[in-house]
Amino acid sequence: MLPKTQRPPPHPRIPPILSAAASAAATAMVLRSLAKDLIPRDLQHEVFLRLRRFLSRFSSELTLTVDEYDGLYPNILFQAAETYLGTVITPDTKRFRASKPEREKRIKVSVEKDEELTDWFGGVPIKWRLFCKDTPGKYVVNPDSLGYGCGAPTLKTEARCFELVFHKKIKDKVINEYLPYILEKSKILKEEQRTLKLWTLKIERGMGGPRSKPWQSVNLDHPSTFDTLAMELDAKENIMADLQRFVKRKEFYRRVGKAWKRGYLLYGPPGTGKSSLIAAMANYLNFDVYDLELTAMRSNSELRNLLISTANQSILVVEDIDCSIELQDRFKAAKKPVGKPLVAMDLLQPDQGCGDERIIIFTTNHKERLDPALLRPGRMDVHIHMSYCTPCGFRMLAQNYLEISEHPLFTEIERLLKMKKVTPAEVGEQLLRNEEAESALRGLIELLEEKEEVEEVKAGQVEQKESGSEGVTELEN
């Protein structure tokens, strides 16, 4: 027998409760592994679900299920969780999924089925697992549709759901704080990850049936921003401030009983940057753009259906609105039935359309041709005059095209700009002709010297004084 001082230290005694827990966990893992090998795949989910329900009787944990669909319609909470959990994946996560839709710019990371994730909220762990099982096929509303009832239904042969496992003591915290947090966080993530779209009408719309999508989209890759826009600085700051005030006033619009919409009228000569301003507004707000061709409408009901099918947080653009009104007048003069939607202009007004957080923009080269009723407050809330190029606009264009902020020829160019009529588009086209700054600027001077003189009173200033409509904001560029 070894002396007492040479005996090995006794093994630390493991508490019986920990030993039992470890044994149960090991047994569960063995059973789960065997079940995967022995039980048919289509029955595994049901077996595991029943096993979890049985074991939950002896556990202090609760399980909350979030199904992908609520009946026939997508479950917004499931979509939010799917987006949110893509940011929770850690180095400990063994399996996850990555994809990139054809028209999207970013890679989408999401949870793989049967993979468990642990999220922490307020210092408390919450476990997530995505379950999938095959089901008899059924048609559900496509979650990628523009709105419920707008897109063709999709055949689903797989049911998906998230299961949250957490201690029963934090049930109220999970339901009242954690889930709302996920909804809000996912909304922010989607805005950051969203690829802007330009939606146009399909020529063959309606041929695919009453539930077919009337819109088709391409990525909106227009580079225009308020930083690069050739406008007076004050005008740009006023527009940005108005947009910011609008998007922050959801509760205000609800409280006063008005639809959450804002109408803008952009007017001025061709080539003064109306399309660039629309693109800058879309990039600034992260809103999709819908290009609506009024002359392509066949009926008032078609126009209303198109408005319903546009998404929230979007900009609806009707270009050259005066041309649409002229077409309506021709129909009336010919005494033809005006089935065209041009007699239903109120459908386009901010207080009559469907949806929320919409910007409605009309453009025209001839504001004086428009019916004053169309321009009143509540319809077109902000009137923005897009004028000829100014010295400030020229300096922005010179920075964009030539990457210069100063040059000896600037003084002469700015003097001529105050006297001549030239659009920002004409200035930009001239600056494109030569990469060497000196040659490009001299070419611009030659162009300006050939242009006609500016009238003593600039276009739009008289209109601004005469309109004076209460509630209408006039912005001069």
Identify whether the C-beta of residue 81 lies closer than 8 Å to the C-beta of residue 172. no
297: confidence class by pLDDT, cuts 50, 70, 90: confident
**pLDDT score, position 6:** 47
Q: Classify residue 385 by burial, with Cβ atoms within 10 Å: 0-12, 13-18, 19+.
A: buried
Distance CA 167, CA 126 (A): 8
Of 91 and 325, more confident: 91
The band of 249, judged by pLDDT with boundaries at 50, 70 and 90, is very high
pLDDT tens across 343-362, in order?
Answer: 434 555 544 445 678 899 99
CA 101 to chain CA centroid, nearest Å: 16
Query: Given this model, what pLDDT does residue 351 score?
Result: 46
CB atoms within 10 A of CB 67: 14
Q: What's the pLDDT at 455?
A: 54
Of 141-150, 252-261, 373-382, 391-400, the range with the lowest mean pLDDT is: 141-150
Residue matched to tokens 């000569």: 269
Angle between helices 41-56 and 16-38 (to 10 degrees): 160
End-to-end CA distance of the chain: 102
Between these two residues, 395 and 332, which has the higher pLDDT value? 395
Residue 2: predicted pLDDT:
46
Given a cut of 50, whether residue 167 has pLDDT beyond it is yes
pTM of the predicted model over 0.95: no
Local confidence band at 105 (pLDDT 50, 70, 90 cut-offs): low
Of residues 354 and 188, more confidently modeled: 188
Rank 308-322, 373-387, 432-446 by mean pLDDT and report only the highest. Answer: 432-446
pLDDT tier at 33 (50, 70, 90 boundaries)? low
